[in-house]
Amino acid sequence: MLMNPVAGNAITKNNMTAFRQIYTLFKKDLLLEVRQQYSFYGILLYIGATIFVLYMAINEPEAKVWNGLFWVIQLFICINAVAKSFLQESRGRMLYFYSIASPRDFVLAKLMFNSLLMLAMSMLSLLLFSLFLGSPINKVGPFVGLVLLGGWSLSLVFTFLAAIAAKAQQNAAIMAVLGFPIILPQLLLLMRLSNAAFAPLLTIPLNTVLLLVALDIMVILLAVILFPFLWKD
């Protein structure tokens, strides 16, 4: 069965329009982050100060302690970095975005920006951890991949939770309360996967990595499906 050329052109045009809207909203968040440098530098200060305190307290911990501390710090970095994504948007600004963009494009742009920000923060955190607390990692490549995957996973979950919290009287505490029960299984899974990077005889199970990727895709789909209901509120 052949597709109607007019319908095909309309679908292509709609896709291009959606892509341009997502890119414009993503660029807006990026420009705001560049201009409001105090928030970005605040996250950097949090990362540096936290890792330096750990260095002063325990110097070079053993591999399991290093791994556990790294992922716990990643969790709190993500909360600090992602919490402001929706909470900084005023009601008037949200009404303006409601008139010019679709909810799907808006939430996808937020997911993209927060993912990029968290990937950068994750790599910076890994670098500072290695400099101050040593590097007991035996498999550097796989561990870096897990760090990037874990940072992406954390950013997706907390971006979606930030959207919910923004509609609950701008209460960031709700994001933390809702987030910990949801993120805890994912965090434990990341810790278990990354333990294999510290042991030369263990291998990282591919099935578990694919499960983590599937969970991330599910979060994106949930955000795209459910955010329009929050958008209309």
Q: How many CB atoms within 10 Å of residue 101?
A: 18
Residue 233 is given by DSSP the state -
pTM, entire model: 0.83
Q: Give pLDDT, residue 2.
A: 47
* Cα–Cα distance measured from residue 130 to residue 60, given in angstroms and rounded to the nearest whole number: 10
C-beta separation of 212 from 190 below 8 A? yes
Task: Please state the domain extents for the chain.
Answer: 28-231
- Residues whose CB is less than 8 angstroms from the CB of residue 34 and which lie 6 or more positions away in sequence, other chains included: 40
Grade residue 180 by pLDDT with cuts at 50, 70 and 90: confident
Q: How far apart are CA 90 and CA 81, in angstroms?
A: 18
Burial environment of residue 137 by CB neighbours within 10 A (0 to 12, 13 to 18, 19 or more): buried
What pLDDT shows up at residue 190? Answer: 87
Name the helix (H) or strand (E) containing 36. none
